Amino acid sequence: MTKRILTGIQSTGTPHLGNILGVILPSIRLFKKYVNTKQFVFIADLHSLIQQNDFEQIQNNAYHIAAAWLSFGLNIEKTILYRQSDVSSEVTELAWYINCCFPYNRLILSHSFKERSKHDKTKINVGLFTYPILMAADILLYNAEIIPVGKDQLQHIEITRSAANKLNNKIGKKLFVLPIPYFHKTTMLIPGTNGQKMSKSKKNYINIFSSDDNLKKQIMSIKTDNTFFKEKKNPDTSIIISLYKLIASKEKVDKMKTKYLQGKYGYLEAKLTLYKCLIETFSFERKQFTFFINNKSLLDNILYSGAKKAKIIANQRLNEIRKNFRLKEILNIN
């Protein structure tokens, strides 16, 4: 069977630099390299319900996710771009089958659940707990084998592999492929402005699609130590350099490092250099993003066409799964 590559981003906001460097760019390179693969990019709007219940906002964010992928050159002739909610009945049905064969004791070990539930249990919902199951369904519904992800998703891929194994054992047949994560060591965890993992919920993100002024403000908010302007600075602990390294040439980074070590080089100057570099590096994508966001009917058409293609594949596959589980008889499905 043709290998399938699949990845997704929640529609909780505009994709940030972490999403772009960690997943969008590596996926697009992968798609270009392996032309003989089936490729899927989905907008995880059902997942985003865990954090948001403003449907209009989720819908609007979905446009932002689509526009970001397209502005980085996603080839929609080759890749199916769709909203998760366009295959909601298929994906949630499969998620239920997985729920019913996956051990509770294994799911409570999920880092993402443990991390968020330790703060305030009154603010979390069951969706947060079963998030990895829905993600497993997203992947197994298409028998996707290669999954571009950031570091935070590695455990979820493990859970998906385990779910695939359990389902295969249950039916006595290798119906589900065990997926593998795809990532680069240098971009699997992009730091945010406070040095922790860049994330929409932590509000430490850099949104390269925001206006020049807003982008500058985000860069200026990068945390630095109290080293005085004249003093020498440590390049190895600088968040500015960690980010600069990801987009600037080695020569430019070395130049900044030398200035740090020499002293008389302020963080303000370093931040301005990073800001200018971001503007230059992504000038084309920023223009493209504006174009797509101002052409919602074009985005609607692209998403509509993606939904149609995804739905056909999801339906066929779900029928195959039902048949193998002998669910056709129970569910009274033709």
Place of tokens 């949104």: 207
Long-range (24+ apart) CB contacts under 8 A made by 190-193 are: 190/17, 190/18, 190/21, 190/22, 190/150, 190/243, 190/246, 191/239, 191/242, 191/243, 192/18, 193/218, 193/219, 193/221, 193/222, 193/223, 193/239
Judged by CB under 6 A, which of 50, 71, 97, 150 binds ligand AMP? 150
Which of 282, 258, 17, 334 is closest to 150 using CA atoms?
17
**Interface with ligand AMP, residue 189, by CB under 6 A:** yes
Nearer Cβ to ligand AMP, position 25 or 298?
A: 25
CB of 91 to ligand AMP, least distance (A): 16
Instruction: Please report how close the Cβ of residue 51 comes to ligand AMP at its closest, in angstroms.
Output: 10
Place of tokens 């370093």: 270
CA dihedral 196, 45, 318, 168 (to 10 degrees): 10
- Please choose, out of 66-74, 165-173, 188-196, 207-215, the segment that lies near ligand AMP by the rule CB under 6 A: 188-196
In sign, the C-alpha dihedral spanning 27, 29, 32, 34 is: negative
159 binds ligand AMP (CB under 6 A): no
> Closer CB to ligand AMP, residue 3 or residue 197?
197
111 or 173: whose CB is closer to ligand AMP?
Answer: 111
Q: How far is the CB of 199 from ligand AMP (least distance, A)?
A: 6
Task: Give Cβ neighbours of residue 261 (< 8 Å, ≥ 6 apart).
Answer: 232, 233, 235
Minimum CB distance to ligand AMP, residue 312 (Å) = 25
- Tell the smallest beta-carbon distance from residue 23 to ligand AMP (Å): 4
The yes or no reply on residue 124 touching ligand AMP (CB under 6 A) is no
In a 13 Å sphere around the CA of 239, the CA atoms on its Cβ side amount to 23
Q: Point out which span in 146-154, 163-171, 228-236, 261-269 binds ligand AMP (CB under 6 A).
A: 146-154
Report which of 155, 198, 170 is spatially closest to residue 97, judged by C-alpha positions: 170
Question: Restricting to residues 31-70, which ones interact with ligand AMP according to CB under 6 A?
Answer: 44
> Is residue 18 within the footprint of ligand AMP (CB under 6 A)?
yes
Position among 85, 153, 193, 238 found at the interface with ligand AMP (CB under 6 A): 153
9 binds ligand AMP per the rule CB under 6 A: yes
By CB under 6 A, which span of 144-152, 164-172, 216-224, 266-274 interacts with ligand AMP?
A: 144-152
The two three-digit tokens of residue 69, written as one number: 């992928």
Q: Are 298 and 284 in contact (CB under 8 A)?
A: no
Of 4, 6, 14, 22, which one interacts with ligand AMP (CB under 6 A)?
Answer: 22
Residue 10 within binding range of ligand AMP, rule CB under 6 A: yes
Q: For the chain, give percent helix, strand, coil, nearest 5.
A: 60, 10, 35
- Per rule CB under 6 A, is residue 199 in the interface with ligand AMP? yes
Residue 97: both structure tokens together: 């089958």
> Contact region for ligand AMP (CB under 6 A) — 17-25, 33-41, 163-171, 238-246?
17-25
| Nearest of 301, 256, 296 to residue 59 by alpha carbon | 296
As measured in angstroms, the least distance from the Cβ of 321 to ligand AMP is 25
Min separation Cβ 171 and ligand AMP, Å:
29
In this chain, which of 197, 252, 317, 323 binds ligand AMP, going by CB under 6 A? 197
Question: Using CA atoms, how far apart are residues 66 and 43, in angstroms rounded to an integer?
Answer: 8
What's the rounded Cα separation, in Å, for the pair 232 and 211? 33
Positions touching ligand AMP (CB under 6 A) are 9-10, 18-19, 22-23, 44, 149-150, 152-153, 188-190, 197-199
